[in-house]
Structure formats: C-alpha cells, structure tokens
Amino acid sequence: MRYDLNLLPIFIALMEERSVTRAAERLGMTQPALSNALSRLRVMLRDQLFIRERYGIQPTQVALELAPGVAEALARLDGAVLSQQEFDPASAERLLTIAPNGYAEFVLVPAIVARLRQVAPGIRLRLTPYSNDLAGTGVTSGTTALVLGRIVEPPDNLVVQHLMEEGLACVVRAGHPEIDASISRDQFERLRHVNVVPPGRLRAGLFQALAHQQLKREVAISVTNFFAVAEMVAVTDYCATLPKLICRRLTHDPRLKILPSPVDLGTFPVEMAWHVRYRHDPAHRWLRSVIGEVAADLSNHLP
C-alpha cells in the first residue's frame, strides 16, 4: 500500500493540539484544508482517528496506538535530513522562541543573550510565557524551541537536560534594625516575608523545604516576579528567601544585605527541555550547547 507521508505531520499536530483550529494555525493551513487532510488520513489509516467533542477533539484508541510510532518515524526522518545541514553561528540568521520561567529569565537569559551577541549576532530570541502546563508554552507541539526552568512530569515527546543545581539564601535591607551579619532561626520566624508567587514548581519546592526543616514563615506580601523583591525588601523590614544566583545579582544593590539561610534548605534543579524533533537540528543543538555552557559558568560562581 502506498502512503501519503505528507499526512503524517498533520496526524501528529492533531494528536498534540487536540484541536483542528490550533493544528491548522501551527501548520500554516486553512481549517478546510486541514479537514480535507483529516478525511484522507481516515481513509488511509482506516479509522475515525479523532472524535469531535465540545472543547476540541479526542483521539480514538487506534490513533493513540499509532501516534508513538509515527512521531518516532518523523523524528528519525527530521534527524536524517537536518544532520546533513551545515550551521555556521557567525553567519546564521534565525529567530528561536524559548519559554524561561521567572528564575531563568532573571539569571540565565541575560547571560545567554550576551553570549549570542558575541558569537552569533544573527540568532535572535523571542521569549514566550512559561507555564507549569508545558503544552501552554508551545514546547510540546514544537512551536517553542525549548523551555528553561523546573521540568516536572514531561510528556514522552520532550527531551530533558539537567543544567545545574541552585540553592537558597536570604535578603534583608542593609539597615535592618534586627539583623546584622547573620540571621538566626528565631529571627527568621519572627520576621515577615516577601514571597514570590511564580514559578509554581519553585514555590512548591521552597514551601516543601521550609516544611521539611519545620521552619515557619509569615508571608506579608506575595509578588509576581523576582524583579519586584528588591524594591519591596529595600523599603521594609521584610525578608525574602531567593535563589543564590539572584541574590548574587542583588549584592550590587547597596540597600540590600545577603545572608545565608538559618538552616540548610537544600537545592533545586534547573533544567531545559525540547521537542524530540529538534534533537538533530544543528542550530538547536548549538543553542543548547551555549545554554549548557552559560549554566555551567554561572553554577561555578554560586556563593
């Protein structure tokens, strides 16, 4: 039997998006054209494949069974083609979309951009919002090149790479009336604290670390990003518990004082993940190597 291989990427897009509209947008097709392709897919694979429901489409059992093999075959094909392409960072012109969490945007992205400016000025980055729902970032469909942060329970079509381990420290204002060169457990528990709401996985990790050490913390205010913490702490007697590399950036602010946490709060992983179809893409591989080098340089300077 002869197969129309052009239909297989459409099948995978429908599997991953679970929406005809989103799949059409992803593939640059009109909805009628995609619907026509789906009809041909159903004839070719001899199954309904997708059932329309109120909020999109759901795959049949046959589609679920076929999807892993088709995705793997397409990834191998991509790899075979892309591995033959040459990539010169110095002359390449390309826009890549990445989704960093709040920590990665504050710590990693400026260093990545600085490195790209030096060695690959034609490589541009576009940042898209990070989400604990990885599908919302676009990485599970391949529209986003990669995500940076804490990757929990990734789907099978993502490759995850560990970049480094981060620790935690405390920040108070330089003229704090109660805190001198260190902060005790009792002082930590008496103070009121600034809490950073996103990214959710890091927040959960910090709460879990505090609970493990039976360390109490009274939250006075929750802010939505790390950039707001310095201003909040500088004008109050509050305390914030932040990743060490963020604290390192804040040491240049004379209004603030960085202190070790009163107990060992452990570490949390920093990771990146990408769709399997980018495994052999020369430009993507090169960008991943740059990010790995940047992360290694930063981790070598952890306090």
Range of the domain at 199: 168-266
Q: What is the pLDDT along the chain (303 residues), one digit of tens a residue?
A: 567 888 988 998 898 888 888 888 878 889 999 999 999 999 999 999 999 888 789 999 999 888 888 877 777 776 666 555 677 888 888 888 899 998 999 999 999 999 999 999 999 898 988 887 787 788 887 778 999 998 888 888 899 999 999 999 999 999 999 999 899 999 999 999 999 886 445 556 777 888 888 999 999 999 988 889 999 999 999 999 999 999 998 999 999 999 999 999 999 899 999 988 888 788 888 999 999 999 999 988 776
Work out the number of other CB atoms within 10 angstroms of the CB of residue 75: 18
In the listed set 82, 107, 122, which residue is the last one of a domain according to the structure?
A: 82
Q: Is the domain of 184 the same as that of 254?
A: yes
Q: Is the domain of 152 the same as that of 217?
A: no
Q: Looking at residue 78, which CATH number applies to its domain?
A: 1.10.10.10
Q: Is the domain of 103 the same as that of 71?
A: no
Alpha carbon 236 to chain centroid distance?
32
Q: Is the domain of 125 the same as that of 252?
A: no
CA distance 92 to 56: 39
Q: Looking at residue 197, which CATH number applies to its domain?
A: 3.40.190.10
Q: Is residue 88 part of a domain?
A: no
Give, for 94, the enclosing helix (H) or strand (E).
Answer: strand 94-100
Q: Are strands 168-173 and 256-260 parallel, antiparallel or unpaired?
A: antiparallel
